[in-house]
Structure 1
Amino acid sequence: MSRAAGLGSWFVPTGRTRRRDWWLRYVLVLVVIGAVAVLVDARWFPDSYPRLERGDGFDVLWPFPDSGGPVTAIGALVLLVPNVAAMTTRLHDRDHSAWWLLWNLLPGIGWLVLVVTVGLLGSQPRANRYGPPPPRGGRRGGH
């Protein structure tokens, strides 16, 4: 089994990942896990979501109703390293360093810069400092 096919690639922030693979192998899985965690929290820890009960709704800069409960917090901690590794390999595919993750520290617009760069812009067709382009349907390790 290759590294690209196994969970080992979730924890290694080297190499490059194509946009399509990033959406299907990382984002989709993270969204499903996050949704399940929120549902479990809402069912077994309803006090974790007081804004929903008050009817405060959503905020433009932070569209999520609340931080969540204990299951969501544990899930976020467990998925932190795979998320950073996936974002890093996707940034590498665009020939950007992992330092670009610091955009997350800029409220309101930082996440938008990363979503556009990582999720919407295509791969570089040629080799870059992080290695050759990944094969279709996979991920190529770098140095």
Structure 2
Amino acid sequence: MDWYLEVLRKYAVFSGRARRKEYWFFTLFNLLAMLVLSFIDGMIGMYSIEAGVGVLSGIYALGILIPSLAVTVRRLHDTSRTGWWILLAFIPLIGAVVLLIFTVLDSTPGSNKYGPDPKGMDGQVPV
């Protein structure tokens, strides 16, 4: 839960780097929150089949949009890629697969042009 809150503390911080752990725990908590909110929307009759989203889950998705973009950009920075690679998401299927691969890759060891190593291993070889 700390990883989720850490991303929210950096609500619109697009600079720096984010570890895989930070990115994937944030993604996991987002998925769980969306499932719970969608279930609640369905139970209280606020889920729209046509729109594919409910009121509560829609509000949550809008509120979490900027932190999601920010942590994805920081994750791309951690792999020594510019945040503009996030635009690949607009390419159907292929873009999502490429972004998935980029977010799964390990960090660039040591400092890069986006900041120091978030693992705290600047200049050290990981064991």
TM-score by length of 2: 0.80
Compared CA separation, residues 5 and 83, structure 1 to 2 (3 A): closer
8 Å contact 1:103–1:114 — kept in the other structure? yes
Structure possessing the higher relative contact order (Cα contacts under 8 Å, 6 or more residues apart): 1
CA RMSD of aligned residues (A): 2.1
Match of 2:27 in 1: 27
Deviations 1:55-80 (A, max 9, x none): xxxxxxxxxxx631222211110010
Secondary structure at 1:31 match in 2: helix
Identity of matched residues, % = 33
Rounded to whole Å, the distance in 2 between the matches of 1:27 and 1:20 is 10
TM-score by length of 1: 0.72
Compared CA separation, residues 92 and 43, structure 1 to 2 (3 A): same
Q: How many equivalent pairs are there?
A: 116
Deviations 1:8-56 (A, max 9, x none): 22431211111122212x1122112111121112212365236xxxxxx
Large movers: runs of 4+ above 2 Å: 4-7
Counterpart residue type for residue 14 of structure 2: P
Q: CA deviation at 1:114?
A: 0.8
8 Å contact 1:37–1:72 — kept in the other structure? yes
1:95 matched to 2:80? The reply is: yes
Counterpart residue type for residue 125 of structure 1: P
Q: Which runs of 5+ in 2 are unaligned?
A: 121-127
1:124 matched to 2:108? The reply is: yes
8 Å contact 2:14–2:71 — kept in the other structure? yes
Compared CA separation, residues 105 and 133, structure 1 to 2 (3 A): same
Q: Which runs of 5+ in 1 are unaligned?
A: 51-65, 137-143
